[in-house]
Amino acid sequence: MLTVMQRACGGSPSYSEFRNTEEILSSYPLCFLTPMLFLSCLPDYLSFGEVDTNTSVKFCLSSPHRLFDGQTPIFVITDPETIKNVLVKECFSVFTNRQNFFPVGIMSKSIPLAKDEEWKRYRALLSPTFTSGNLKEMFPVIEQYGDILVKYLRQEAEKGKPVAVKDVLGAYSMDVIISTSFGVNVDSLNNPEDPIVENAKKVLRFDYFDPLSLSVALFPFLTPIYEMLNICVFPKDSIEFFKKFVDRMAENHLDSKQKHRVDFIYLMMEAYNNSKDKDSHKALSEIEITAQSIIFIFAGYETTSSILSFTVYSLATHPDIQKKLQEEIDEALPNKASPTYDTVMAMEYLDMVLNETLRLYPITNRLQRVCKKDVEINGIYIPKGSRVMIPSYVLHHDPQHWPEPEEFQPERFSKENKGSIDPYVYLPFGNGPRNCIGMRFALMNMKLALIKVLQNFSFQPCKETQIPLKLSRELLLQPVKPIVLKVVPRDAVITGA
């Protein structure tokens, strides 16, 4: 879910270049919105696939569409074969990169913001960190935070008050990501002033409507100027904090002769220190390791906590599905036994429930790629420098692919049914070489949290629960109002406390 980092905005060509592009595109069968020179179709674009689901789906699917961001054409595609061409077949030759818009400083060296050969190198170096073997070694660390989550929910349940689930699940998500990234134990629920937690939260306070971001949105040519002046959208003090933290970890790693617990920085350090040539482009530098570590926090926190929140909301509003999932958990783990990696990954109904949540509420509700050269795909001419946008939310709610798309039906992803799902109309983690590199880790993390919680509690709607859930017009899919639920202990004996 690292696509969180790409805001869909871009450069602004000259007026003459813009009119030439207009003349070429006007000869192709596209439905499009004509922009003003600087202000673009931004209001239409920002509302795509959000809030009014029926209107968005009908508009998006009626024909190929072209919008503008500034004067950059954005091609909206929903045809599965065309999506496959963009994400897979032409990924390396034409649609390799995502759009980098804001001045990001050292974060340009993170895997979602890197381009071309640099991105390929990062992908090759980072992919081994997400193997099953490494995830199994991280499993006990994540389980520890599942136990803390259960203990906290028990305390809240005893108060008899409804719980704002995003706050609680967000703390769990933060603790897991920091611990598995940096190898340190934190407890953001009970110790929110921990320096590493405070700096992680600063990184997450990313405001797309602050003066710096708005200035770049209106005048894209300012981005390289800001970069030269070392002006960055990320807080400098937090970036510096994590740089020093990684430096200290590197020194400790070199000095330590003891077996180190597996975390992402440790795995990246191992690759760095085991390299025969430290100056080789094949090894990650400490700056690059810092960038990847920060991006794990930025990309992982919001997505994990939001998906978990949408999942427990869906279970609370569908008690029959919640009961069926609890029965699967109880059967696989009798007497509230501790889960193992293999047991978690083998639970079929849990997988179905999570997949259906990701379909109904895709957190990153659109994917984008930049066109590196003029190309024609399935009769659509896409000029160099333009962007392709794939509206995941719209695809996930298309009745042509999903009967009764607004209904929460985990059976869509049963063994019997999932084989008929087109992989290019279900894109919660993207697809192709630039899909979410942390997908397996994210799924393991969320499944373990759900197991721990559902072993001990049931979720129920309360008077503060918004039904049906209304979604807001933000970059990431969010409810208009916080999800508030009643947490009910299943019995008097609560594990993980």
Helix (H, G, I), strand (E, B) or coil at 203: helix
C-alpha triplet 415, 478, 465: angle, nearest 5°: 85
- Contact between residue 395 and residue 43 where contact means Cβ atoms under 8 Å apart: no
Tell me how far apart the alpha carbons of residues 134 and 130 are, in angstroms, rounded to a whole number. Answer: 6
Q: Distance from first CA to last CA of the chain, Å, rounded?
A: 31
Strand, helix or coil at 123? Answer: helix
CA atoms of 287 and 110, how far apart (whole Å): 10
Residue with tokens 């949290």: 449
Longest dimension (CA), the chain: 73
- The structure tokens listed for 289 are 């390791």
Q: Which residues participate in the annotated binding site for heme?
A: 436
Binding-site residues from annotation: 436
- In terms of C-beta distances under 8 Å and separation of at least 24 residues, what long-range contacts does 252-260 make, across chains too? 260/183
| 342-347 long-range contacts, CB within 8 A, separation 24+ | 344/444, 344/447, 344/448, 344/451, 345/444, 345/447, 347/447, 347/451
Distance from C-alpha of 182 to C-alpha of 61, rounded to nearest angstrom:
44
